[in-house]
Amino acid sequence: MPASLCVVSDSAPTAAPVRHSVNEVDCRVKAHEWVNGQYRLLTLSAPCSVLDCQPGQFFHLLCPQTDRFHPYLRRPMSIYSCNREKGELTFLYKVAGEGTGALAGLETGDVLNIVGPLGQGFEIRPEWRRPLLIARGVGLATLAPLAQECARLRLPLTAICSARAPDLLMSTNLFRSFGAEVITVTDTEGNSDTESLTPLIEGLIRSRGIDAFFTCGSARLMRMLQEIGARHGIGGQVALEQHMACGIGMCQACVRPFRREDGAVNLRVCREGPVFDLQEVL
Amino acid sequence: MADLTTRIGALVLKNPIMPASGTFSEELAEVFDLDCLGAHVTKTITQGKRAGNPVPRVCEVNGAMLNSIGIPSKGAEWFLQNTVPFYADYDAPLVISISANSADEFARFAEEVSVPGVAAIEVNISCPNVEDHGKAFAMRPGPTGDVIRKMRSATDLPLWAKLSPNTGEVVEVAQAAEAAGADALVTANTMLAMAIDSATGRARLGNVMGGLSGPALKPITLRMTYQCARAVSIPVIGCGGISTVDDVLEYLIAGARAVQVGTATFISPTTMPRLIGELEQELEERGLTSVDALIGSVDIADEAITLAEYA
Ligand SMILES: Cc1cc2nc3c(=O)[nH]c(=O)nc-3n(C[C@H](O)[C@H](O)[C@H](O)COP(=O)(O)OP(=O)(O)OC[C@H]3O[C@@H](n4cnc5c(N)ncnc54)[C@H](O)[C@@H]3O)c2cc1C
Ligand SMILES: Cc1cc2nc3c(=O)[nH]c(=O)nc-3n(C[C@H](O)[C@H](O)[C@H](O)COP(=O)(O)O)c2cc1C
Ligand code: FES
């Protein structure tokens, strides 16, 4: 094996795992539609065994083989919604490359094999009473179920949704339906950069009493929130992405470095994450 | 019911299906009951703590994957206190995979990990030998023999030498391991490979090069299994690209007494229990009462063919 190039030691399994909480199941496609020019909403009929999930958790999808696309590894996808009564699971995804390209070809009635639910979801700490969600791109999909959870907990919620262009803003009505105050920013309007967002967020801290940040979808936004959070003593969480192979914690493919009491440590995004403490991300 | 048991030296496995090192861990217990497996094989560990390689650590290529995980290790102490006790709850024998920088280090480490609860040691000799300009032990018969010989005098546990497909001296390395006292061979580890993104011109692995595994590796490791099974009298355990019951049958027919399943578990985490069920069914359909009946039964029409030109 090649010599190690990185100074950070890797994580290994910690607590003894719970038995048989992860399932591999075949699901039928109930609906599959375009949300805009880039994103598709996939609705699956799913058995109860996989519907006990938390906002922020994800599934590992076995994208089909098609004439054009031959994905081999599974693709991680956040839960967009999960409904036990209806036996439904949805994913909102961007058609990007080989795997999502193949996924986009699925039609109603087709079968998709999924593994999950996987990873650690968001935790809304009891002291967090006035959350702010900041989502960009695919991050909107990951934060949607968290908005629903905030509504369930009757927490007043503000959400900043960011996208390249107005037509790529998704889920704003969904966020509003959960009672959130929604602020949209886009690159084309020129108000999505950190120079514009920082005063906007600091204004919200003053006017709304924001006491927690939740974010997903942009490293730039995450860094900005780490700074604002450090300045104002506001904590929060971030959902991260990393290339994966197994998705369940066996292979150590998906590590990223984090700050812990005893120094930097590599943690597995699929296992210790994908949701992490905002300030721990290096 | 067909008899699935197989013997690897002194160890009796209830079936010939076990995981490959680095593609299995405690977390799989959340998917199925690990006791259905013939054995448990853990990710390679080193004596001291060690970091892995830079990301991306994996990428897919047509019908296979590359990995450059490296051997991130929490060290022997952590492993003995946490991992070994976890597997004590199971009947399946625990095989632990170890690696070191020199033959002497291998021997000292083997002694340290020879504790109750460990049934065998798999020797990962696909790592660089600091005493041979960083060339992997498994590349040559000499260093392979040295490692196994020194370990043999340091532990009474069965030693499984895991060979590499990167050598041109497969048979010589296999025979050196046997002569030095190995109890079994595992054929094989990943094959050194590389992938480049043509659009960006960038290497697709953070470590530039990595090991090829999955279906595309199978013809090579199946050939190694066949070569080794004919060249040594110790058991050979096949490994490389197994995902279907036909793959398992091919390895058994080539001469393997058991097989390891790696990458397929990433694609479908329930692969191993499925293969065990399907193997039993397949034996029954063929009217066979045991796996033994298949092992090494490959039908070579004409011996001369194996010597014929293949280039
Ligand atoms: C926990 C988690 C949740 C996610 N949730 C969503 C979601 O809800 N909606 C959505 O649109 N996308 C989501 N993503 C990103 C999504 O997994 C990638 O867009 C997808 O894997 C791209 O695959 P591809 O074959 O189309 O692209 P390709 O570029 O062809 O992929 C090549 C390889 O790189 C990997 N890869 C590429 N981009 C990413 C990425 N951003 N993260 C991880 N691996 C990547 C692929 O899995 C594949 O193995 C999530 C990622 C993670 C880790
Ligand atoms: C992600 C990954 C990590 C691996 N780690 C190890 C390891 O630590 N030690 C080892 O001996 N082999 C390791 N291997 C090699 C496998 O054990 C196996 O030999 C190889 O993948 C071929 O089998 P497969 O095609 O069924 O995966 C690893 C393979 C993969 C894919
Ligand atoms: S993807 Fe295998 S450990 Fe995270």
Q: Which of residues 74-93 of A touch B (CB under 8 A)?
A: 74
The question of whether B127 is a catalytic residue gets the answer yes
Query: Is the residue at A91 inside a domain?
Result: yes
Give the span between the Cα atoms of B105 and B274, in whole angstroms: 39
DSSP code, position B269? T
On whether residue A7 sits in a domain, the answer given is: no
Q: Is residue A267 part of a domain?
A: no
Q: Provide the mean pLDDT of chain A.
A: 92
Mean pLDDT, rounded, for A8-37? 76
Whether residues B207 and A252 touch (CB distance < 8 A) is answered with no
Tokens of B216: 């595309």
> Of the residues B36, B59, B127, B228, which is catalytic?
B127
For chain B, state the CA radius of gyration: 19
A178 lines ligand 1 (CB under 6 A): no
Q: How far apart are CA B31 and CA B33, in angstroms?
A: 7
Beta strand extents in B190-297 (DSSP E only): 191-194, 209-213, 236-239, 258-261
Q: Are B167 and B173 in contact (CB under 8 A)?
A: yes
- Look at residue A35 and tell me if it is in a domain: yes
Distance B294 CA to ligand 2 centre (A): 26
Q: Annotated binding residue at B162?
A: yes
Per-residue model confidence as pLDDT tens digits over B146-205? 999 999 999 999 999 999 999 999 999 999 999 999 999 999 999 999 999 999 999 999
The lowest-confidence range among A135-139, A247-251, B118-122 is A135-139
In angstroms and rounded to an integer, the radius of gyration of the C-alpha atoms of chain A is 19
Q: Which stretch of A5-9, A117-121, B25-29, B82-86 has the lowest confidence by average pLDDT?
A: A5-9
Q: Would you call A10 and B25 a contact, using CB atoms and an 8 Å cutoff?
A: no
Q: Do both A137 and A76 map to the same domain? A: no
pLDDT value at residue B28: 98
Return d(Cα A59, Cα A76) in angstroms, integer. Answer: 6
Residue A96 in any domain: the answer is: yes
Kindly list the residues from chain B whose CB atom is less than 8 angstroms away from the CB atom of residue A17.
26-27, 29-30
User: Which among A38, A44, A243, A272 is the best mutation to test ligand 1's pocket, defined by most ligand atoms within 8 Å of the CB?
Assistant: A243
Strand runs labelled E in chain B = 6-8, 11-13, 17-19, 40-41, 58-61, 64-67, 94-98, 120-124, 159-162, 184-187, 191-194, 209-213, 236-239, 258-261
Enclosing H/E stretch for B97: strand B94-98
Decide if A140 contacts A176 (C-beta within 8 A). Answer: no
Q: Which domain holds residue A200?
A: 131-239
Q: What CATH fold (topology level) applies to the domain B6-310?
A: TIM Barrel (3.20.20)
Q: Which of B 246-305 lie inside 8 A of A, CB atoms?
A: 263, 265-270
B9-61 residue pLDDT tens:
999 999 999 999 999 999 999 999 999 999 999 999 999 999 889 999 999 99
Q: Is residue A262 part of a domain?
A: no
B7: number of Cβ within 10 Å = 12
Tell me the CB-side half-sphere exposure of residue B192, using CA atoms within 13 A: 14
CATH code: domain of residue A161: 3.40.50.80
ipTM above 0.90, yes or no: yes
Can you list the alpha helix ranges (DSSP code H) found in chain A? 98-103, 139-152, 172-177, 194-208, 219-232
- Reported as a single tens digit per residue, the pLDDT across A66-117 is 999 999 999 999 999 999 999 999 999 999 999 999 999 999 999 999 999 9
Residue of A nearest to B63 (CA): A72
Question: Domain locations in chain B?
Answer: 6-310
Residues 6+ apart with CB under 8 A from B309: none
What are the phi and psi torsion angles at B172 (to 5°)?
-65, -40
Nearest Cα residue to B74 out of A55, A14, A94: A14
Please check whether residue A74 lies inside any domain of the structure: yes
Strands B120-124 and B159-162: parallel
> Which residue has its alpha carbon closest to ligand 1 atom 27?
A97
Q: How many independent structural domains does chain A possess?
A: 2
